[in-house]
Amino acid sequence: MNDPVALETQAAKLRSLTRREALRIIGAAGACAVLPGDLAFARRAFKPRGEDEAFLNELEHQGCLFFWEQGSADTGQVLDRSRCDLNGACDPRHMASIAATGFGLTALAIADKRGYLPHDAIVERVRTTLNWHLNQMPEVHGFFYHFTDLETGARFRRTELSSIDTAILLCGVLTAKAHFNDPLIKSLAGQIYERVDWPWMLNGGDTFSMGWHPENGFLKARWSHYCELMMIYLLAFGSPSHPVSPELWNNFSRPVVHYGDYAYISGNDPLFTHQYSQAWFDFRHKRDAYANYFENSVIATQAHRAFCLAHPEWYNHDCWGVTASDCQRGYTAWGGSPTGGKLDGTVVPSAAAGSLPFLPEDCIAVLRAMRQKWGEQSWRRYGFVDAFHPAGHWYDTDVLGINQGISVVMAENLRSGFVWNTFMRNPECARAMQLAGFRNHA
């Protein structure tokens, strides 16, 4: 087992940083790494039944309600965060998140499939969202600002034009395009995707920039080590109008992390980095020249669970899991690979919920146990609050769009594979994975 003192020393710089700041500070570690080719898993198919299925359905239903109630009926944008106790009213804060909107479009497709909301109302909201983002939302070369005003779309303060958050929006756009049998939705979605100028975001380099500011140009930080970046590269490879060379797939490093008996590709990043690209792109039973990334995320989740359980003063089998989230001190990007975060007893439900397809039995068990034990404080109108600290008697009053989103999407993927199956019906997405060198891998 790794030395906990050394782990805390290495983790210190991650504390109290925002997700964006943490990702900019953390550099690539090591050269490209290849997981052992004979790594094999005897994995049986898991289908939730009975009370597990009912719990996941409730988690999804209430999570989808967030994206409906905290989205603008006039623009389709979704708030970055809202209070958890508004009883249906829209939070008065006006800061929308382009990534939350991408998760929101996906959640609306899930809500339509599951009958959580009226079909005609969902279709109208999706049309509104796509039309606004194509024809009225401020953009530069097809990329969108990270945070914007919910009703006007105006850039929020000095936020960056974000490559990763635009990619998350596009994943939602393409999910809607494939799911809804509506010519207008398909046309609008296709135009939004085709407008994105991917070569521009390379800024003359061989990896994508994290973003751009109108005041001083491109950010120096690049998407150059394994994390949630896979969606950016794959969307760019599949672009029918502005593609980039699939050779770029070889240009980001894949450092291997060791924790106890676990070895897996990861940066010093929060657990969500193993979840986001796989919310839409289906990596099951596939590998490229480097790894089977689905199984890599299985190992990352197992290692993360073991890391939490190595702190029995706070965590146990009924209470574990952290990822970038709120905490008592503010928003914190922590708790990634075991070398990447110092724990303090906060628990973040979306850590386990976002890993449901990777470690289903353990993740369902801990989520149900947390709701049963702390449900009066931790489970509100939209499901779990963003984070809570049982020992400190602190329960967040907010929910975050991206954490609600990954929870809803991965719960549905575990139950039915719906988002994977729908998203991958876009020919550009399947072709992108072929161009990156993916092949079947049992």
3-state secondary structure of 50: helix
What mean pLDDT comes out for the span 356-362?
98
Nearest-angstrom CA–CA distance, 269 and 367: 22
Helix and strand numbers (H, E) in the chain are 16, 17
Tens of pLDDT, residues 71-103:
999 999 999 999 998 888 889 999 999 999 999
Residue 137: name the closest of 106, 177, 102 by CA.
102
Would you state the pLDDT for residue 207?
98
**What one-character-per-residue DSSP string does 132-148 give?**
HHHHTS--BTTB-BSEE
pLDDT tens digits for range 188-233: 999 999 999 999 999 999 999 999 999 999 999 999 999 999 999 9
* Exposure class string for 227-248: b at 16+ Cβ within 10 A, else e: bbbbbbbbbbbbbeebbbebeb
* Between 427 and 34, the higher pLDDT residue: 427
Fold of the domain built from segment(s) 4-440: Glycosyltransferase (1.50.10)
CB-based contacts of 209, cutoff 8 Å, min separation 6: 163, 201, 202, 203, 218, 219, 221, 222, 223
Question: Residue 31's pLDDT is what?
Answer: 30
Range 90-116 burial, b when 16+ CB lie within 10 A, else e = ebeebbbbbbbbbbbbbbbbbbbebeb
Query: What is residue 253's predicted lDDT score, i.e. its pLDDT?
Result: 97
| pLDDT of res. 332 | 86
Mean pLDDT of 317-338: 86
> What pLDDT does 143 receive?
98
pLDDT tens digits, 114-163? 999 999 999 999 999 999 999 999 999 999 999 999 999 999 999 999 99
Which residue pairs from 240-244 have beta carbons closer than 8 angstroms and sit at least 24 positions apart in sequence? 240/193, 240/194, 240/428, 241/194, 241/195, 242/142, 242/194, 242/196, 242/197, 242/198, 242/199, 242/200, 243/198, 244/198, 244/199, 244/202
Backbone torsions φ then ψ of 283, nearest 5 degrees: -95, 5
What's the pLDDT score for residue 441? 85
Tokens 């087992």 appear where? 1
Mean pLDDT of the chain: 90
**pLDDT of 176-189, one tens digit each?**
999 999 999 999 99
Report pLDDT for 361. 97
Predicted local confidence at residue 45, as pLDDT: 76
Give 374-425 pLDDT, tens digit per residue. 999 999 999 999 999 999 999 999 999 999 999 999 999 999 999 999 999 9
Report the C-alpha gap between 374 and 391 in whole angstroms.
Answer: 11
Residues 305-327: tens digit of each pLDDT: 999 999 999 999 999 999 999 98
What's the pLDDT at 179? 98
Percentage of residues in the chain having pLDDT higher than 70: 88
Q: Between 36 and 305, whose confidence is greater?
A: 305
Residue 432 tokens, joined = 């992108």
Distance between CA atoms of residues 225 and 14, nearest Å: 17
| Confidence grade of residue 339 (pLDDT, cut at 50, 70, 90) | low
Is 0.85 topped by the overall pTM? yes
Q: Give the DSSP letter of residue 128.
A: H
